[in-house]
Structure 1
Amino acid sequence: MLSAAVLAERVGWCADLVAGMVGALIGGHWNRVDVEVLASGVDAAGRRLPSNAWMALRRLGWTAAAPVGVKVNDRIVRMAQEQAGRVLRSSKWRVDVTGGVLSTWPSDPRRRTPVEWEQVRQAIPGGEGLPSSVIKSRTRQAVAFIAANGRLPVDVFELEGIPRVPRMLLLAACDRQQATIERNDTDPARALLRMQLPTRPDPRGYRDWTWVACPISLPPTVPAGAFLHLPTLRITGRQVRADVAYTHGVPKARSSGHTVALGVDWGLNTLLSAGALRLQEDGRITALGAGGQFRAAGVLAKQHRLRRHGERLHAKADHYQRLIAGGDQQHQLAGKHAVLRDEIRHVSARRSNLNDALAWAAARWTVDQATAATATVIYLEDLRSLEAKGMGATMNTRLSQQVRGKIVDRIRHLATEHGIAVVTVPARNDSAAEFVTRRRDRSGWRVAG
């Protein structure tokens, strides 16, 4: 058993070794050809690639090597290949979206015509169901590239740099020779993780790797009978966080025959509105109670302030970057620029944590409403065209920060645990986000009736 500080140090050494191999592996294959090969799912011989990313990369011959003089076992290389493979596989979506936007570049990037919208959606695989905000954000990214270079980018690999590699350990790519996890027999809220970690930042041999026992406290949301999988370890400050995946049985959701449902609608001032409905035997639909609202005005206001603060920091950092000619580290503004970059990362982390907390809270509230009403299905309004038309870019930007996409994913996850089906339905002519008009008699907004 090690102290928390020593454990964080050793996990950090191992994460640095893995991150170095991941960065080299991604950098060597950060191009359209290699990403297309990996995403195709077959190798040169026509055989299907394994679902595990590290296995797929080995089938393709994409190897990773430790720094010269450093000794690591094959499981450490597996973790590096797994992380790199996941990044490369996930980039295929950005390749398709950016390629579709560039191949159907509009005459006016700020305002597409209906015909141009149809063209760009047809050029993107699955573009019919893609939110318009995603296409607009990729368009703005290309516009910024044109302003800097005077031409359209070739693809997303020219538009974006090589992704930064987070310091993490994907223990799921390992076997029992590298890591094991067991639940406590007497206390289901605790588990014991055993893994091999280096005793120095540059291990020269296998004797520099030793087994370490790490007790883990499980949250109460993990069922007592759940099967634990090897976690992903992350470094947060001087502590080690473990993202533990688990498997347990859940009731199967019905695909038909629902009599009680929960309808969920998105709003401008109210994040979520929900109401339970019952289908009577004669075909009539009756409301069960007055419904409820999930208000998150305070959290959304804080999120909006953080976004504006981040924009100001980015503008100031870009100004300092232009003043520091050629990236001179001896420039008198270099220190201030480094402080700004650290503050930008800090603000981004705060926004991310706030988004995650809000998404889980909203999803839990929605599923609790469905459970209380004994609903077997949740009908959720479609998000593809959810925009405040005529309200300007500021309101639309604020709306885009309300993590609705994350909320939908969390709702599906939590509803599955309770055997509740989730169905996405298209918005009708009473959508609060699309049919909003200005009141003439006083300031404010109302839903058009």
Structure 2
Amino acid sequence: MSGPGSTAPRQFAFTTRAHVAVDDATGEPIGLDDVDTRMRWLLDLIAAAGTELTARLWQPVTFDVLTAGRDRAGRRLPAQGHVAAARLGWNPHYPDGIYVPSRVTRVVTAQVLATLRTLAYRDAAIAALSERFDPVTGTLAPPTEPGDSVPLGFARGVRRQLIARSRRTDGAQSARLRITDVQGPPRVAAMARLSAADRQLAQITAAGRELVLRVKLPTCPAPAGRAQWRRVRLTAAIPAHLHGRAITDWHLPALVLDRKGLLWRCAATELVPDCNPGSATVAVGVDWSPSTLGAAAITTENSDGLSSDYRGFTYDDRGLGVKLARLQAEGQLLHRKAARLTRLAATADPEVRARLEAKIAVLDGHREAVGAKRGKINRELGFHFGRQVADYAAAAGAQVIAVEDLATLETRGHGRVNNNRAAQSARRQAAAALTHTAAGVGIAVVVVPARGSSAQCPGCDEPLTRPGGYHTAWCQGCRVGGNRDHIAGVNLAKRALLGKGNVTRRRGQMPAVRVAEHAPVRKSRDKISPTPPRPRHRRVRHSLPTVTRRLGVTPKQHVPAPRASVWDTVKPAPPHGDAGSRDRRTSPINTTPVADSMRST
């Protein structure tokens, strides 16, 4: 039931760490380092079993079964991965003499089936693209069937895989390839997704502002029986930003180990205001910009039609974009160095190879550290962007936020460096953060087509001109223009308002408007867009402070710092109170003898 004041459940994720660990049976405290060791034993068992099962199932028949979604008896496969694996008989194998509970096996099969189901789409796409691939020219023929179309970025990646395989096989290639012919089985992550288990393995409860997790962990690297699996009770604090929220259920977390120890990746269900884009009259369009993460503009629908003031809000990333670009260049440099040393080590002597492999290990460690830092900055950037746009939409009284469809958005035409930088920006993470933040204030986020949003006029749908360069747009007929990204935001908001009655919803995806309709958007003389808040900087006093002189005390002289120079360390200091001025300059010191004396020493 939907209406004003109604609520709807939604799931969200967060992370936390345990600060107390005790043995559940005896109540004796356990050190967190011991918990990390026992958790590493569990993750090693899960990763080894998952790798073995993935390698055994890496066959075309596996993907045929997953694509069909039917078992041997023709029944539909259940959505739960561990139930589908049990019905198909896909069970992992463990070394002899090692006892693993059946609930741990559920965790392994659930993780493997989730990975294989994701790769089933790639297998179908590779099979379709390989039939249109010419190994001589290395090009793909145009698709003949409507269902054979795939995103251009995805097609380019598959094309590179097909070219690499044709080089390895000297051009000998069959008409139809599968994913097992192009690439090897993926690496299984060392992660324990406890959501696939039941209370016999793990259970979680909330007590006040703390979460209590009871989970079975092995007491040795190779447990031989049930007695070597003991239950541990872990206590973690609920993050402060979740206090006071209408959370109805806490879900079992996924456990991983990072450089700080055991990390909980938790999920919870809460009640948020119901978001219904069908009754929206004010929309905010968010355009993904190559210069910044995004820009927003507002379009309003009333009895006279659509209107906008063509003023927008440009997101300020506070310098994080420059930092990300620097880290990206550093990571690419480390990757090139490691790749070159790997090629040299392949033909080097054993002693030289050992030294090169040590250097490669150091470079890989640095590259992982750079990647982790980029991930943290991207997450901070995405949620800061989501909060800024959500506040902007709430201040404007908007009911829906329209974002570009990232599946059809491709960065090109800006040079190799800028294209790569824009392609690796955290747009999808920012869209997810915007969806999460906007839902908390009752604003829906929908996906609209991106084609032509910054190239066509919102009023007459004619191509725009660029009188001031790439970042400007102007329509001679409608006499409207401004920032290119703001014009695109008006177009996106218009498409959301015109298609609000034809919103499609798919499981696991954002609501989407598939067809871009047109209606003229007139320019409003009134100010519609709210003025975004600007950070206020502390006022700097450039004048000298007024100090009352004390009798009998020599006042301090405020001497400005000398100009920076490479000769600052050898120049004689000026006398006290005489630092020179713009009206009277001291005679310059000849630096040649000083430089000669420094070279002689």
Shift of 1:231: 0.5
Once the two structures are TM-superposed, the CA of residue 74 in structure 1 deviates from its matched residue by 0.7
Q: Which residue of 1 aligns with 2:330?
A: 309
- Secondary structure, counterpart of 2:392 in structure 1: helix
CA RMSD of aligned residues (A): 3.0
State which structure, 1 or 2, has the greater radius of gyration over its C-alpha atoms.
Answer: 2
Deviations along 1:92-115, one digit per CA (max 9) or x if unpaired, are 122233333322226897887xxx
- Give the Å deviation of 1:259: 1.3
TM-score normalised to structure 2 length: 0.66
Aligned residues: 433
> Mind listing any 5+ residue stretches in structure 2 that lack a counterpart?
1-21, 23-29, 457-462, 475-601
Equivalent position SS for 2:285: strand
CA distance in 2 between counterparts of 1:352 and 1:143 reads 31
Match of 1:164 among 176, 183, 187: 187
CA contact (8 A) 1:43 1:49 kept: yes
- 2:210 and 2:137 map into 1 onto residues whose CA distance is 54
Other-structure match for 1:199: 219
CA distance in 2, matches of 1:285, 1:438: 23
Out of 261, 274, 285, the residue aligned to residue 283 of structure 2 is: 261
Q: Name the structure 2 match of 1:228.
A: 250
Contact 1:266/1:381, CA 8 A, preserved across alignment: yes
One-letter code of the match for 2:66? L
Distance 2:350 2:257 in 1: 28
What is the correspondence of 1:391-410 to structure 2 with a 5 Å cutoff? 391-410=414-433
CA–CA distance in 2 between the matches of 1:396 and 1:108? Answer: 28
- Classify 1:297/1:436 alpha carbon distance in 2 versus 1 (closer, same or farther; 3 Å): farther
**Which consecutive unaligned segments of at least 5 residues does structure 1 have?**
none
Judged with a 3 Å threshold, the aligned counterparts in structure 2 of structure 1 residues 377 and 119 are, in CA distance, closer, same or farther, namely same
Match of 1:123 in 2: 148
Structure 2 residue 62 is matched with structure 1 residue 62: no
Choose from 63, 66, 75 the match for 2:103.
Answer: 75
The amino acid across from 1:176 in the alignment is R
What is the CA distance between 1:183 and its match in structure 2?
A: 0.3
Distance 1:120 1:322, change over 3 A: farther
Name the CA distance, whole Å, in 2 between partners of 1:117 and 1:190.
Answer: 57
CA contact (8 A) 1:279 1:286 kept: no
| Cα pair 2:219 2:229 within 8 Å, conserved | yes
Q: Secondary structure at the match of 2:321?
A: helix
Whether 1:180 aligns to 2:203 is: yes
Worse-matched range after superposition: 368-377 or 393-402: 368-377
Mapping for residues 324-339 of structure 1, pairs under 5 Å: 324-325=345-346, 331-332=353-354, 333-339=356-362
1:285 paired with 2:307, answer: yes
Secondary structure at the counterpart of residue 90 of structure 2? coil
Measure how far apart 1:44 and its partner are. 0.8
Deviations 1:90-138 (A, max 9, x none): 11122233333322226897887xxx455597424xx3xx3x2232233
For normalisation by structure 1, the TM-score amounts to 0.86
Q: CA deviation at 1:388?
A: 4.8
The structure where helix makes up a greater share of residues is 1
The farther-off stretch of 378-387 and 14-23 is: 378-387
Alignment pair present for 1:299 and 2:320: yes
**1:60 is aligned with what amino acid?**
L
What amino acid is aligned across from residue 396 of structure 1 in structure 2?
N
Once residues 328 and 157 of structure 1 are traced to their aligned partners in structure 2, the CA distance between those partners, rounded to angstroms, is: 34
Query: In the aligned structure 2, how far is the partner of 1:9 from the partner of 1:81?
Result: 23
Which has the larger displacement, 225-234 or 63-72?
63-72
Separation of aligned partners in 2, 1:349 and 1:369 = 30
Query: Secondary structure in 2 aligned to 1:324?
Result: helix
Equivalent residue, structure 1, for 2:57:
29
Contact 1:200 1:208 in 2 (8 A): yes
